[in-house]
Structure 1
């Protein structure tokens, strides 16, 4: 073979070598670019995954912040509960999306920013409401103290009024003196023989009292025998004394004008009613016990 025939062959061989070398270089470059791009994509995916996890954490933190908000307003509590439900739903949605879904991640970031603004408004409202409630509580405490002071003053005045009324009642109480007991026979002659007495007369003087109420006064007489039995004619003969009704032996209405007044009351004796011994006579008026004496029959 001549040298001229080898020249094209050598050129063809060199071309093949060059082409092969270039192809090898291109493959190397393409391989390098592929692995580099894959590595970069992996890093990007990891970054987006971290971003998704961070976004989830921020939503969960926001949910806890909403849970910490407390108020006595039913309206605000209802609105807060709706926001909590919304955040919970968004957290569930974030868990379901792919980390590479950048558009969705951006949407949730915007939603997070919006929810934070809403929360700040609620914090301001709750703080204002708490301040108002605090002021109202202080005002209520002041009102309660004022009412308590008024109540104490009223009770004190009522006590003073009762004490004054008691003093007036004591001062206006009628009093008697010069009490005398006389047994009378059928001819109205005095006797101390129990078997001969047909009536008992009790006389006394009501003292002068300018504080006592004037007008008609019911005077009641109770006479007790030596055995403690009350002399009376009817179970219906009753008057009030110390919040209860008791029987009386005799009763009389007198006109009292504030000056001294002589009064006598009589008790008609039933046959065989009297016994020998010491008797007690008690006088009552205006619900008070105003006189007492003892006398003896033989």
Structure 2
């Protein structure tokens, strides 16, 4: 009886040992499975963090690239208005420097502190950008207003210039009309001769014998003219011989004057106060040498303008 009962406890102990071993193995496997799960979750979290950092880094780079484009636009606008853009050039240099730093980062090294720092710098750049845009817009509005004002002033100036030119032309035309209207006229021009005995002779045909002529006498009246001012007038006589030369002698009162911009000789001159009474005027000229035969011309001038003319013949 005792020999039949001894193997049972040993079998039971073996079974218990095997069961315990199985439980230990199951526990180890469970622990390993748990650790693998934790590691997998950590890896997923790390990968998600890297993806997030990479996205934030790309977004930050795009924001700086947009800022760079806007500041370049502003620089061109300011240059287009002929203004200095040193401050914009300096900001563009800062933005380019930040872009180089951002592009050198790896997503894993783009820390939260760096994200905050570049985000704050970008915000400052955007604030300055908006402020500069407002200044540029105001400058453009001011320039447009100034251009409009300048254009209006130029138009007014052109109109005023045209008006002044028109008035000047009108005044010139009026002056010319007044000058023409105020010209004197020599009326009743008569030519006579005086011989060596101081005897005068006139002829209706204005023909005289040259050898008997000592002096030439020219008389006329200044016609009435209500436009011409009552002032001292300078009357000149030209005695032109048959060959076309005007008699001229300084010792007998001759000289030069201007006719239509050209210098001419006059034979005699006298000043008188015009009184608009058809006052008579007389010239007596002695050549002091024999007169040439042929057709002679007498021209009368006042103020360089011809006021009368006649001819006579010496035979």
CA-based RMSD of the aligned residues comes to 3.0
In structure 2, C-alpha distance between the alignment counterparts of 1:23 and 1:132, rounded to whole Å: 82
2:249 counterpart (207, 230, 233): 233
- Give runs of aligned pairs for residues 1-298 of structure 1, distance below 5 A: 15=20, 18-69=23-74, 70-71=77-78, 72=81, 74=83, 77-99=85-107, 100-189=110-199, 190=201, 192-234=208-250, 237-272=255-290, 274-298=291-315
Q: Distance in 2 between matches of 1:173 and 1:80?
A: 75
Q: Deviations over 1:114-156 (max 9, x none)?
A: 2222222222222223223322322223322322232222222
Deviation at 1:260, TM superposition (A): 0.8
Aligned partners of 1:67 and 1:268: how far apart in 2?
A: 96
Q: Distance in 2 between matches of 1:188 and 1:13?
A: 186
Separation in 2, partners of 1:267, 1:96: 114
The structure that has the greater radius of gyration is 2
Q: Distance in 2 between matches of 1:205 and 1:30?
A: 144
Three-state SS of the structure 2 residue aligned to 1:50 is helix
Q: Structure 1 regions of 5+ residues with no counterpart?
A: none
- The number of aligned residues is 296
TM-score by length of 1: 0.84
CA contact (8 A) 1:197 1:269 kept: no
* Cα separation, 1, equivalents of 2:223 and 2:121: 98
Partners of 2:191 and 2:47 lie apart in 1 by: 129
What stretches of structure 2 of length at least 5 have no aligned partner? 1-5, 202-206
TM-score by length of 2: 0.80
Q: Do the aligned partners of residues 219 and 33 (structure 1) sit closer, same or farther apart at CA in structure 2, a change above 3 Å counting?
A: same
Q: 1:25 to 1:284 in 2, by over 3 A?
A: same
